[in-house]
C-alpha cells in the first residue's frame, strides 16, 4: 500500500506543517522534500541547522531529519534524534509516531531485537490505523522468534475490537495453528476465506487464507475439506497456481486421477517459471499412469524432462547475464532516479535473456534492499565526483573574491576618509550647543527660515537708514511702520518657536543615529580588514582539505559499490540456483517415474512370454 511505501514521509509530515513556515531555509527544505529530492532536502536541512537558520522550526526540523535518515536505513542515528526530542519534551503523539516508524524500519532491515526495543517504548497515543499496524508489527516480531502463543495473545486482543482488520485475523489464524490450536486457527481462516472483500488487496488475502487452509487439510489427510477450501480461490488470483496444484493432489488422494487431470492440465499450460507449474508437468503424467494410459504418461514425462533441461539451460543463461552485470545495469537504466533513498522502487524490468526468471528474484525483500543500497552507493559516487569538480570552481571563486577585495578596499577607505566622521561630529556638537542656547533664551530668530532671515536683514537696514534720517513727520511715520512690522515678525517667530525647536531636536536625533551608524560601519570596515584576509586563508585551507577527504572517499565508495554489486548479483544467482535445484529434483522424479514405467512394461512383457505355451 502507498501508506507503507511512504511511511517515513508520513512521519516527517506529522510535525512539518504544525504552523506557517517562518524560516525561508526550512521552506526550501520542505520544497525539496515534496519534490522527492530527499538527499538534497536532508543535506540542505543539516547545513541550515549548522548555521542556525531554522531555529523557528527546531523540533519540526529534527523530526523531518530523523524521518529522512530513517528512510536511508540509518535507524541508530534516527533513534538518537527521536530520543533527544523526547528528552526535550516532545508531545506524546510525536514520540509514539517516532518509535513506531523506527520499529518498522528496524523490522524491515532485519534488526529484530532493536525493533522490539523500539516498539516497547510506544504508549497509547497512536491514531487508530497506526495502532493496528503497531499490533501487527508486534505480532510479527513475536512470530519471528517463534513465540506463536505470544503473537496469538496480541492478535486476539486486536480482533476482539470492533472493526478489526483482515490482516489481524489472518495472522491470528496462522499464529493459532502454529501455536498448536489448529481448530481455532482453521475456524478463523475459514471465516476469513468466506468473507466478502471490497478490494483486490483483501480478495488476494482471502485467496491466501483458502490456500493455507487447503494445504493444511492436505497435510492432515483431509482431501475433501482441502477441495472445498481450494475451489474458493479465483483462477485469476496470484495464488491460483498453488490452488490448482493442491486441488489436483486432493483429487489424487481420493483416487480420482481423472478429476486431478483437469486442474493439473490447466496449470501445466501456464508460465513454467512458477514452481507449481513445474510440479504440474510431472503431476499430469502421474495421473495418466494412474489411469493406465502408460503411453501418454511416458510421453508427458519425457516432455517434462526435456522442458526441465531447457529451463535449466535458460537459467544458466540468466545466471551468466547476471554475473556479467546485465541485470544491475539494466535495472538502473530502466528505473532512473535523481535521488537515493528508501522510497525508490523498481518499476520496469531490464532486457534479459529470460525475464520471467526475475519474478522470484525481485520478489525478495532482501534483494530489493540490497539493490537499493547499491543504487545509493552509485548515487553517492556521482555526488562525490560532482563535489570534487565543484571544488575547483570554489578555488576560482575564492581567487576572484580576493582580487575584488584587494581592488575595492582602497576605494572604500578613501571614501571613508572623505566623509570625515570626526569633523561631522564636531559640526554636530556645535549645532547642539546652538540649539541649547536657542532653547534656553527662547530665541525665535535662531529658528528663522531663509525668507524670514532676509526680511529681518531688510528691517535692520531700514532701521539704520531711518536712524540717520531727520526727525520730521515722515520719518516718524516710517519708524512707526517699521516698528509694527518688526513686532509682527517677532510675534511670528515666537509663535513658530516650539514647533521649530521640536523639528530641530528631531533632526539632531537623526544626525546622532546616522553618526552612530557611520561609526559602526567604520568599525565593521576596520574589523573586516582584520577578518577577511584570515577568512580567505581559512577557505584556502579548507578547500584542499575537503578535496583530500573527497578523494579518499571516492575509491572507498567505488570499492563498496563493487562489493555491493557482488552481493546483489549473488542474491539473484542464489535464487536462480534454487530454481535449478528444484528443476533437478523434478527431473530426477520424472526419470524415476519413466524408469518405473519401463520396468512395469518389461515386467508385463515377461509375464506375457511366461504365460505363452
What 3 state SS string does 70-134 have?
Answer: HHCCCHHHHHHHHHHHHHCCCCHHHHHHHHHHHHHHHHHCCCHHHHHHHHCCCCCCCCHHHHHHH
Least confident of 34-38, 100-104, 334-338, 469-473: 334-338
The reported pLDDT for the residue numbered 224 is: 93
C-alpha cell at 7: 511511511
For 347, the 3-state DSSP assignment is coil
Q: Buried b vs exposed e over 510-529: b needs ≥16 C-beta within 10 Å?
A: ebeeeeeeeeeeeeeeeeee
% of the chain at pLDDT higher than 90: 24
Distance in angstroms (rounded) separating the CA atoms of residues 286 and 16: 63
pLDDT attached to residue 607:
59
Write the CB contacts of 445 (distance below 8 Å, at least 6 apart in sequence): 456, 493
- Domain-located, residue 377: no
Choose the weakest-confidence range: 338-347, 374-383, 421-430, 436-445: 338-347
pTM, two decimals, is 0.65
Q: What's the whole-number mean pLDDT along residues 309-313?
A: 91
- E strands, 338-463, are none
Mean pLDDT of 86-103: 78
Give domain status of residue 147, yes or no: no
pLDDT at res. 288: 93
For residue 540, being part of any structural domain is answered with: no
Query: Is the pLDDT score of 555 beyond 90?
Result: yes
Mean pLDDT estimate for the chain: 83
The CA radius of gyration of the chain, in Å to the nearest whole number, is 45
Got the DSSP string for 186-216?
Answer: HHHHHHHHHS--SSHHHHHHHHHHHHHHHHH
Supply angle C-alpha 165, 166, 170, rounded to 5: 125
| pLDDT tens string 133-143 | 888 899 989 99
Structural domain contains residue 263 = yes
Domains held by the chain: number:
1
| C-alpha to C-alpha distance for 49 and 300, rounded to whole angstroms | 70
Question: Residues 414-434: what's their mean pLDDT?
Answer: 78
Max mean pLDDT range (122-126, 253-257, 535-539): 253-257
| Predicted pLDDT of residue 297 | 92
Distance CA 341, CA 337 (A): 10
Which single residue is written with the C-alpha cell 518389461? 602
Answer yes or no: are the C-beta atoms of 379 and 341 closer than 8 Å: no
Could you tell me if residue 250 is inside a domain? Answer: yes
Model confidence at 3, pLDDT cuts 50, 70, 90, reads: very low
User: Domain for residue 496, yes or no?
Assistant: no
Alpha carbons 500 and 508: distance in angstroms, whole number: 12
Residue 556 is placed in which grid cell? Answer: 572507498
Question: Are the C-beta atoms of 7 and 104 separated by less than 8 Å?
Answer: yes
Cα 174 from Cα 168, distance rounded (Å): 10
Is residue 578's pLDDT more than 80?
A: yes
Span 363-387, average pLDDT = 85
Cα 472–Cα 477–Cα 481 angle in degrees, nearest 5: 150
Residue 394 lies in a domain: no
Q: 16 pLDDT exceeds 50?
A: no
Nearest 5°: phi and psi at 253? -65, -30
Q: Is the predicted pLDDT of residue 216 greater than 70, yes or no?
A: yes
* Highest mean pLDDT: which range of 68-72, 100-104, 277-281, 426-430: 277-281
pLDDT category at 5 given cuts 50, 70, 90 is very low
Residue 180 DSSP code: T
| Cα-based distances in Å from 149 to 139, 161, 177, 180 | 10, 19, 10, 9
Highest mean pLDDT among 112-121, 294-303, 335-344: 294-303
Return d(Cα 209, Cα 190) in angstroms, integer. 7
Domain of residue 235: give its range. Answer: 199-270
What are the b/e assignments for 146-165, b being 16+ CB within 10 Å?
Answer: ebbebbbebbbebeeeeebb
Q: Does residue 224 lie in a domain region?
A: yes
Label residue 610 by pLDDT band (50, 70, 90): low
C-alpha to C-alpha distance for 106 and 98, rounded to whole angstroms = 12
Please check whether residue 59 is in contact with residue 85, taking contact to mean a CB–CB distance below 8 angstroms.
yes
- What pLDDT was estimated at residue 11? 46
At residue 234 the predicted structure's pLDDT band, cuts being 50, 70 and 90, is very high
Give 380-398 pLDDT, tens digit per residue.
Answer: 898 899 888 888 888 888 8
According to the per-residue pLDDT averaged within each range, which of 148-157, 328-337, 600-609 is highest?
Answer: 148-157
User: Which residue in this structure is represented by grid cell 487452509?
Assistant: 213
pLDDT at residue 12 is higher than 50? no
Is the pLDDT reported for residue 74 higher than 90? no
**pLDDT surpassing 80 at residue 586:** yes
Task: Report the CATH number at residue 237.
Answer: 1.25.40
Amino acid at each position: 500500500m502507498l501508506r507503507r511505501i511512504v511511511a517515513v514521509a508520513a512521519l516527517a509530515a506529522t510535525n512539518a506543517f504544525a504552523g506557517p513556515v517562518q524560516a525561508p531555509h526550512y521552506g526550501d527544505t520542505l520544497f525539496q522534500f515534496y519534490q522527492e529530492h530527499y538527499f538534497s532536502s536532508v543535506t540542505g536541512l543539516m547545513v541550515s541547522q549548522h548555521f542556525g537558520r531554522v531555529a523557528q522550526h527546531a523540533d519540526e526540523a529534527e523530526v523531518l531529519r530523523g524521518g529522512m535518515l530513517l528512510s536511508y536505513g540509518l535507524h541508530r542515528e534516527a533513534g538518537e534524534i527521536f530520543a533527544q526530542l523526547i528528552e526535550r519534551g516532545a508531545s506524546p503523539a510525536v514520540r509514539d509516531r517516532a518509535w513506531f516508524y523506527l520499529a518498522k524500519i528496524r523490522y524491515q532491515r532485519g534488526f529484530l531485537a532493536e525493533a522490539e526495543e523500539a516498539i516497547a517504548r510506544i504508549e497509547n497515543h497512536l491514531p487508530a490505523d497506526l495502532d493496528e499496524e503497531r499490533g501487527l508489527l508486534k505480532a510479527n516480531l513475536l512470530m519471528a522468534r517463534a513465540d506463536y502463543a505470544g503473537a496469538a495473545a496480541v492478535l486476539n486482543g486486536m480482533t476482539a475490537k470492533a472493526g478489526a482488520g483482515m490482516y489481524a485475523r489472518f495472522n491470528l489464524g496462522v499464529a493459532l495453528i502454529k501455536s498448536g490450536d489448529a481448530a481455532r486457527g482453521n475456524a478463523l481462516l475459514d471465516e476469513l476465506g468466506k468473507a466478502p472483500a471490497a478490494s483486490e488487496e483483501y480478495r488476494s488475502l482471502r485467496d491466501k487464507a483458502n490456500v493455507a487452509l487447503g494445504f493444511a487439510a492436505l497435510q492432515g489427510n483431509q482431501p475433501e475439506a482441502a477441495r472445498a477450501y481450494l475451489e474458493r480461490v479465483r483462477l485469476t488470483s496470484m495464488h491460483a497456481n498453488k490452488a490448482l496444484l493442491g486441488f489436483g493432489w486432493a483429487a489424487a488422494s481420493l483416487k480420482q486421477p481423472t478429476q486431478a487431470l483437469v486442474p493439473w492440465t490447466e496449470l501445466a499450460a501456464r508460465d513454467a517459471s512458477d514452481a507449481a507449474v513445474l510440479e504440474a508437468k510431472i503431476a499430469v503424467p502421474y495421473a495418466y499412469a494412474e489411469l493406465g494410459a502408460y503411453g501418454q504418461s511416458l510421453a508427458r514425462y519425457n516432455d517434462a524432462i526435456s522442458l526441465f533441461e531447457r529451463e535449466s539451460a535458460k537459467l544458466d543463461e540468466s545466471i551468466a547475464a547476471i554475473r556479467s552485470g546485465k541485470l544491475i545495469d539494466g535495472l538502473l537504466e530502466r528505473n532512473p532516479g535523481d535521488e537515493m533513498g528508501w522510497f525508490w522502487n523498481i518499476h520496469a524490468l531490464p532486457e534479459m535473456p529470460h525475464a520471467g526468471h526475475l519474478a522470484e528474484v525481485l520478489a525478495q525483500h532482501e534483494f530489493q534492499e540490497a539493490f537499493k543500497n547499491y543504487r545509493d552507493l552509485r548515487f553517492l559516487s556521482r555526488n562525490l565526483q560532482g563535489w570534487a569538480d565543484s571544488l575547483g570552481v570554489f578555488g576560482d571563486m575564492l581567487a576572484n573574491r580576493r582580487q575584488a577585495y584587494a581592488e575595492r578596499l582602497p576605494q572604500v577607505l578613501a571614501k571613508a576618509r572623505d566623509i570625515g566622521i570626526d569633523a561631522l561630529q564636531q559640526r554636530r556638537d556645535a549645532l547642539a550647543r546652538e540649539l541649547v542656547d536657542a532653547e534656553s533664551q527662547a530665541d525665535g530668530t535662531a529658528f528663522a527660515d531663509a525668507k524670514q532671515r532676509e526680511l529681518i536683514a531688510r528691517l535692520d537696514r531700514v532701521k539704520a537708514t531711518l536712524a540717520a534720517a531727520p526727525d520730521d513727520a515722515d520719518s516718524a511715520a516710517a519708524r512707526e511702520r517699521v516698528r509694527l512690522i518688526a513686532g509682527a515678525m517677532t510675534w511670528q517667530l515666537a509663535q513658530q518657536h516650539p514647533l521649530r525647536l521640536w523639528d530641530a531636536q528631531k533632526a539632531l536625533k537623526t544626525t546622532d543615529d546616522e553618526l552612530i551608524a557611520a561609526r559602526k560601519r567604520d568599525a565593521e570596515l576596520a574589523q573586516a580588514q582584520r577578518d577577511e584576509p584570515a577568512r580567505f586563508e581559512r577557505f584556502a585551507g579548507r578547500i584542499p582539505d575537503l578535496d583530500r577527504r573527497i578523494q579518499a572517499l571516492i575509491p572507498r565508495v567505488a570499492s563498496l559499490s563493487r562489493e555491493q554489486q557482488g552481493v546483489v548479483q549473488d542474491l539473484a544467482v542464489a535464487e536462480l540456483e534454487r530454481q535449478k535445484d528444484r528443476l533437478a529434483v523434478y527431473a530426477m522424479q520424472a526419470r524415476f517415474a519413466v524408469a518405473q514405467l519401463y520396468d512395469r512394461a518389461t515386467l508385463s512383457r515377461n509375464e506375457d512370454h511366461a504365460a505363452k505355451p
